[in-house]
Amino acid sequence: MRAIYIMWLRQLKRYYRSKARIVGSIGQPLLFLVALGFGFGPTFEKAGQGSYIQFLTPGIIVMSILFTALFSGIEIIWDRQFGFLKETLVAPVSRFEIVIGKTLGGATVAVFQGIIVMFAAMIIGFSPVSLGMVPFAIFFMFLIAILFAALGTAIASLLDDMQGFQLIMNFLVMPIFFLSGAIFPLEDTPEFIQVIASINPLSYGVDALRGTLTGITLYGYSTDLLVLGVLTAVVWAIGSYLFSRIQV
């Protein structure tokens, strides 16, 4: 347990030492929120869909979590290139504890980012349907963050160079985000889009967060929780296995 705590704390310290990284990870979601929210808001309202800021905010919060959690895995490649990973792996602790600490650290940072974006959204007009549901929203944020932090760790464990990781992340991140229902309702989209969204794990994260914050849910809380819970366990197990086989 001590090793898990040390790795978790190390992830937090490394992230928050970089002020530029913090500003960048918060700035992009806020730009999306303001530009899309106020840009498409009038059209959304004319279509009879209500406030677009209310609809969009949960998706932008998930975007912040997705980017931060996935890219937390890139530190494994940095550590491998500069020799820090070798020092970590020869320590008298199991690799399973190391990957748990790294994943929890990346997930915690991602959730902090999501909470900051949520409060920023409240300043520009977003309002949760019930303050009593906010703790449940944070729970789903953490579940989403663990899932994608574990996925980032799994991918980074297979790669040796930064360029390969960035290419794969770019190939995964944008389709996962845009086909999750984060920025447009899935109900009236073509059937093939709905099918793709139904096999996209982020769709259930967006749906769960939108349900807890706005009261609107497509799949239902039980389905969202089941899918996210099972996928998190599976991806975390795969990431732990791949990390345990790293050769340095």
Mean pLDDT of the chain: 81
pTM of the predicted model as reported, rounded to 2 decimal places: 0.87
**Quick one: pLDDT at residue 187?**
83
61 has a pLDDT exceeding 90: yes
Per-residue pLDDT of 66-118, as tens digits, reads 988 888 777 777 777 666 666 666 666 677 777 787 888 888 888 988 998 99
Integer Cα distance of 101 and 126 in angstroms: 34
Per-residue pLDDT of 29-52, as tens digits, reads 888 888 888 887 777 777 666 788
In angstroms, what CA-CA distances link 122 with 38, 57, 125, 174? 14, 9, 5, 25
Tell me the domain boundaries of the chain: 2-244
